[in-house]
Amino acid sequence: MVLASPNEKVMIDKIAEGVSETSKRVIDSIESVTTSAKPKGIEVRWWEGLSCNIMVFGNPNDIDAWVMLDLVLPTLSDEQRPVVRIWKSRMPELYKNLLSVYNEIWDKSDKTLEIRPPTPDKEGSQT
């Protein structure tokens, strides 16, 4: 599982804005999901890059594999966001491309899962 890094303040703020939540709530959710996944044997990494939409893969190595794209769009609530499911058997090339993107993000994601303390900027405020 790849989640947005709670250490990326600008990205967290944008995600929070996009899903109509506070940045603290987004960070708390990331930490909670990370903590609850570990005992279930689910490996988690944090992505420090741009993260706009959500990809969920089902049975990724099976013939009946699928990917669900949850499109996070400005001003739309969770209930209004479009969700698209792409079946590997119906759109193999698109599925392959999305899985490739996910695998690249996975390989480049932070596996230490450590919250870094805020660093003071030039004027002394925390960022």
Provide the residue type at 17 as one letter: E
Tell me the pairing of strands 66-70 and 83-87. Answer: antiparallel
What confidence tens digit (pLDDT) does each residue in 68-116 have?
A: 999 887 777 778 889 999 999 999 999 999 999 999 999 999 888 887 7
Q: Give pLDDT, residue 25.
A: 94
| Residue that has been written with the tokens 């909670």 in this structure | 32
| Residue that has been written with the tokens 């996975």 in this structure | 106
Query: Cβ distance 16 to 26 under 8 Å?
Result: yes
3-class state of residue 45 by DSSP: strand
Q: Nearest 5°: phi and psi at 85?
A: -110, 130
Residue, of 120 and 27, whose pLDDT is higher: 27
